[in-house]
Amino acid sequence: VNGDRVLTLAGQDVPVVGTARMYVCGITPYDTTHLGHASMFVWADVAARVLQTTGVDVAISRNITDVDDELLARAEAENVGWRSLAVQQTYRFERDMADLNVAKPTYEPKSFDYVADVLALAQILMGRGVAYEREGNVYFRAASTAERAGLSRDEALALAAERGGYPDDPLKDDPLDAVVWQRASEDEPGWPSPWGRGRPGWHAECTVMALATLGPGIDVHVGGADLAFPHHAVEAAQGEAALDVHPFARSWLRVGTVRVGGEKMAKSAGNLVMVQEVLDSSSPDAVRLMILDRPWSEPWEYSKEALADASARLEGLWRAAGRRDGDDAATDAAVDALLDDLDVPRALRIAEEAGGRTTRAVAGLLGLT
Ligand SMILES: [Zn+2]
């Protein structure tokens, strides 16, 4: 045990006793796996490897959101069953993660298996006076989540409209209130509830999957930077309001967005770059290095040149690893760099200069094989 070694994220120490519990906002299985997704999961993987150097075990819970508005819409558009679409896409996702040498999570909860827990959450929140029912929907009072996320009300409303918050829903007391449970229409999947046939809301799914697998007060919460609001803000506020354990997450690893041609990689922009497409022309190690050789929180631009640069850098790294030098002081300095806000660029510079076993140690922590 090395109590003197602590991971720092975004300027905050994350001391851990026993097991570090990491929750990773996973995929909605309908357009997997593009480089934007992959970037988040590779960073989560490295954070776990680095945490382990402090002498703690790491439990990772990475969910699959397989009951979701967008998944249902896609299944309908492609005229396939939503369950089979989800199973097929989940399989592809897991293959992509294995190809990128991302370790299997300890828990992989699927929304489909946690519907009863969302019902329990809705009832607890209503019992505590922070949620209300309207025509078969249950809403969480979420007006204060704007301030929590450091947003003005106007900014929050714009983001809610863009990212599945449905601020125009006339049944809500406040446009920022969030759906915990929603009435299901005839042609949608639904489960019985005290408020009629319905299905869970997206943020509530993550709240219960995190709590059910890891318990309250998780140590590191990972997700894309674009999920900060409303998803993470509501997910956390609901968990805190339900169980009175603050904070819901002790630290956040919100991974910067990947762009292509100056735009965020998104299905709607028509610019998705899929993991398998990139792996056709380069090694998994080069893809990982391209993702990791930068500050984790910053948005970045994918290009063929970026990939070629990473491949060249990788060759230099393996040449350095083959040298007969390297020393403990340099290895310690490289590990310290990684513990200091996952500073991969600094760790790589030390690894290239020291060579030998220092380089091999750093490569191992970055999951390069
Ligand atoms: Zn989530």
| 79-92 pLDDT tens trace | 999 999 999 999 99
Q: What is the pLDDT of residue 23?
A: 98
Mean predicted lDDT score pLDDT of the chain: 95
Model confidence at 69, pLDDT cuts 50, 70, 90, reads confident
- The per-residue pLDDT for 266 is 80
Q: Is the pLDDT of residue 267 over 80?
A: no
- Sheet containing strand 220-224, edge to edge, reads 57-64, 19-27, 220-224, 252-255
pTM above 0.75, yes or no: yes
Describe the crossing of helices 82-99 and 69-78 by its angle, rounded to 10 degrees: 110
Greater confidence (247 vs 70) lies with 247
CA of 5 to the centre of ligand 1 (A): 29
Between the CA of 123 and the centroid of ligand 1 the distance, in Å, is 20
**Residue 178 above 70 pLDDT?**
yes
Q: What is the pLDDT of residue 326?
A: 83
> Partners of 19 in the beta sheet?
57
Question: Could you tell me the distance, in angstroms and rounded to a whole number, from the CA of residue 304 to the centre of ligand 1?
Answer: 30
Residue 4 pLDDT? 82
Confidence check: pLDDT of 328 > 60: yes
Name which residue leads in pLDDT, 302 or 266.
302
Q: Please identify every residue whose CB atom is under 5 Å from ligand 1, which is an ion.
A: 25, 206
Q: How confident is the model over 58-66, as a mean pLDDT?
A: 96
Residues in a beta bridge with 179: 139
DSSP H/E element including 20: strand 19-27
Residues 6+ apart with CB under 8 A from 323: 355, 356, 359
Instruction: Please give the angle made by the CA atoms of 195, 199 and 201, to the nearest 5 degrees.
Output: 105
For residue 32, what pLDDT is reported? 84
**Cα–Cα nearest to 17, from 71, 47, 57:** 57
Asked if residue 347 has pLDDT above 60, the reply is yes
Q: What residues have CB less than 8 Å from 354, skipping those under 6 apart?
A: 320, 325, 326, 327, 330, 331, 334
Beta-strand relationship, 263-264 and 220-224 = unpaired
pLDDT tens per residue, range 154-163: 999 999 999 8
Q: What are the phi and psi torsion angles at 151 (to 5°)?
A: -115, 150
Diameter of the chain by CA atoms?
A: 71
Instruction: Identify whether 230 is preceded by a cis peptide bond (ω within 30 of 0).
Output: yes
For residue 247, give the nearest of 255, 235, 257 by alpha carbon: 235
**3 confidence band (pLDDT: 50, 70, 90):** low
Give the strands of the sheet with 198-200, arranged side by side: 131-134, 137-140, 178-183, 198-200
Quote the crossing angle between the two packed helices 284-292 and 304-322, to the nearest 10°: 100
Tell me what the mean pLDDT of segment 129-154 comes to: 97
> What average pLDDT does the segment 269-294 reach?
95
Residue 325 Cα to ligand 1 midpoint, Å, equals 44
Distance 364 CA to ligand 1 centre (A): 28
What's the CA-to-centroid distance between 180 and ligand 1, angstroms? 13
> Looking at residue 363, what is its pLDDT?
98
Give the pLDDT band of residue 268 (cuts 50, 70, 90): confident
pLDDT digits (tens, 9 = 90+) for 185-214: 988 899 999 999 999 999 999 999 999 999
Q: Write out the two tokens for 330.
A: 């340099």
Q: Which amino acid, residue 81?
A: G
Could you tell me the distance, in angstroms and rounded to a whole number, from the CA of residue 317 to the centre of ligand 1?
35
CA of 224 to the centre of ligand 1 (A): 9
Residue-level pLDDT at 164: 84
Mean pLDDT of 6-30: 95
In the reported structure, the alpha carbon of residue 287 is separated from the centroid of ligand 1 by a whole-number distance in angstroms of: 25
| CA 44 to centroid of ligand 1, rounded, Å | 14
Cα dist. 98→104, 140, 305 in Å?
8, 37, 25
Alpha carbons 126 and 112: distance in angstroms, whole number: 22
Distance 318 CA to ligand 1 centre (A): 37
